[in-house]
């Protein structure tokens, strides 16, 4: 068996969302298949489609996207590449952010917008029901409860199977769970960026999947340690960062993204990378100041 054939997201084990959706614990994030600034179509559409298909061939059965990626482009590419979807493939999408230009994001989690966003995602993804629909980010100008009540209503109508949250605090999760069951939380998190450690622990206690984004530490010292361990293991730095996440908690569901079929193979190979306890402890000991992406 060749190395490529041996690579499978199934090596990461599985997690069950909402009691009825079991997926492999290494997914794929489809933000990067759009144009620069997450705006417009990709420079190489054929590569984007090939990346999506290769991910699924290698056992990825959870693909994460959002209507704001493109906008709309990521969802359209997913449907073009994979529809009709292979059995067991779950597409999770998000709403609550709008785009007005490259790298620009606007809050909009109003009931009216979320209702329209779900309808738009249903059409673009060519499905009758979205398996996991996430509030992309709480809107400071809209009642959070009103946003969640809208998603609960859409779930009751059968348009959403399960509800997830993104970019939230523990308070948001607790408040949201009083309105509708929450199956997943997606926040920034890595071995060197553990601001949300307490939220990972909360999700673990309550059987909620945690989808970390930005899986590499941005801190120079952290990257130096990561590079050394990667060299010792004959792996890439991203593979080691993903292996740390997978070992951190059984509810961890990393969703690394790329627009390259070769890179998607490299990422998924992390599912089978065994991180020694000593390396895990060393990476876990890194605790730099919280990351700021504003500079």
Q: pLDDT truncated to tens, each residue of the chain (295 aa)?
A: 334 448 999 999 999 999 999 999 999 999 999 999 999 999 999 999 999 999 999 999 999 999 999 999 999 999 999 999 999 999 999 999 999 999 899 999 999 999 999 999 999 999 999 999 999 999 999 999 999 999 999 999 999 999 999 999 999 999 999 999 999 999 999 998 899 999 999 999 999 999 999 877 667 778 899 999 999 999 999 999 999 999 999 999 999 999 999 999 999 999 999 999 999 999 999 876 665 656 5
SS3 of 243, please?
helix
83 is catalytic: no
Q: Give, in degrees to the nearest 5, the angle at Cα 64 between 63 and 68.
A: 135
Torsion of CA 67, 71, 75, 76, to 10 degrees: 140
Q: Which of 69, 85, 144, 189 is catalytic?
A: 69
């Amino acid at each position: 068996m060749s190395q490529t054939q041996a690579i499978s997201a199934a090596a990461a084990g599985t997690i069950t969302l909402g009691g009825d959706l079991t997926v492999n614990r290494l997914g794929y994030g489809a933000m990067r298949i759009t144009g620069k600034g997450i705006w417009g179509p990709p420079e190489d559409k054929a590569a984007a489609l090939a990346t999506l298909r290769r991910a699924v061939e290698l056992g990825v059965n959870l693909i994460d996207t959002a209507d704001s990626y493109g906008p709309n482009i990521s969802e359209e590419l997913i449907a073009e590449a994979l529809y009709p979807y292979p059995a067991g493939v779950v597409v999770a999408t998000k709403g609550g952010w709008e785009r007005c230009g490259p790298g620009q994001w606007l809050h909009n989690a109003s009931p009216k917008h979320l209702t329209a966003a779900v309808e738009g995602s249903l059409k673009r993804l060519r499905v009758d029901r979205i398996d996991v629909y996430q509030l992309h980010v709480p809107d400071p100008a809209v009642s959070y409860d009103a946003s969640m009540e809208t998603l609960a209503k859409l779930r009751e109508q059968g348009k959403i199977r399960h509800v997830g949250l993104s970019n939230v605090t523990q308070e948001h999760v607790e408040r949201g769970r009083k309105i509708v069951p929450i199956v997943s939380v997606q926040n920034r998190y890595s071995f060197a960026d553990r601001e949300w450690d307490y939220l990972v622990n909360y999700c673990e206690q309550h059987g909620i999947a945690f989808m970390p984004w930005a899986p590499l530490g941005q801190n120079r010292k952290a990257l130096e340690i990561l590079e050394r361990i990667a060299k010792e293991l004959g792996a890439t730095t991203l593979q080691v960062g993903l292996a740390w996440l997978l070992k951190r908690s059984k509810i961890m569901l990393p969703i690394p993204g790329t627009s390259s079929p070769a890179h998607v193979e490299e990422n998924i190979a992390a599912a089978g990378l065994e991180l020694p306890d000593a390396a895990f402890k060393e990476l876990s000991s890194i605790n730099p100041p919280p990351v700021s992406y504003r500079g």
